[in-house]
Amino acid sequence: MWKTHAFRRALGPLLKQLDADYDVPAHQQQDGPEPTQADGSPFKFLPPAPVVLFCQSLPFEEDKCQRLNEKKVALDAKTDTSTNSAELETLRKELEDLEKRVRETKQLIQDKETLIARSQEEAKGLTADLKTDLAEIHALSSQLVTGKDEDDEAEIAEVDRIRADALHALNAFLQ
């Protein structure tokens, strides 16, 4: 019958070489059912490989594994694009916000230019109106009769006297 100790006897020294602290107490070792092959015949171990194969290549394999792990860490650092992707998305969002601000600023500039153009057109229209009004005032001022204030006061007093006489005549007629 196949026993656990046969397995331990075959691999025990190799496991000790890999891990010096390897030791399985006897009470934890249990015998299992006798193993069989697929055709039902009893299982037989192949002859053990020479220890030389394991012992001589172990340091080389350890160095190789360590270098491989270092390369893998370096590769993972190079291929880890999550941080770079997040930064890229942040930069794209920032670019989109800046482009939006540029569009808004361009629209504000265009609105101001339109407002200035309208103001200039209105100013031209008002200037033309003022020139017309100024020409009318100039024409009216040329029609004024020149004279002294005393002459104007005398004319006004004469008109007031004529009006007062007309009112007296009307009152006399009505009574």
Ranges of each domain in the chain? 1-33+45-53, 104-142
Is the confidence at residue 58, as pLDDT, over 60? Answer: no
Euclidean distance between CA atoms 20 and 68, whole angstroms: 24
Is the confidence at residue 90, as pLDDT, over 90? Answer: yes
Instruction: Please state which of the ranges 24-38, 114-128, 161-175 shows the lowest mean pLDDT.
Output: 24-38
In the predicted model, what is the mean pLDDT of residues 135-160?
A: 82
Chain segment 2-31, per-residue pLDDT in tens = 455 566 666 666 666 776 666 666 666 666
- What the block records as the tokens of 165 is 């006489």
Is the confidence at residue 98, as pLDDT, over 50? Answer: yes
Say if CB 24 and CB 8 are below 8 A apart: yes
pLDDT confidence tier of residue 164, bands split at 50, 70 and 90: very high
Chain segment 30-42, per-residue pLDDT in tens = 666 777 788 888 8
Is the confidence at residue 1, as pLDDT, over 50? Answer: no
Q: What are the beta bridge partners of residue 42?
A: 36
In the predicted model, what is the mean pLDDT of residues 136-149?
A: 77
For residue 23, give Cα distances in angstroms to 3, 7, 107, 119, 121: 17, 14, 81, 98, 102
Taking the CA atoms of 108, 110, 113 and 118 in sequence, report the sign of the dihedral they define.
negative
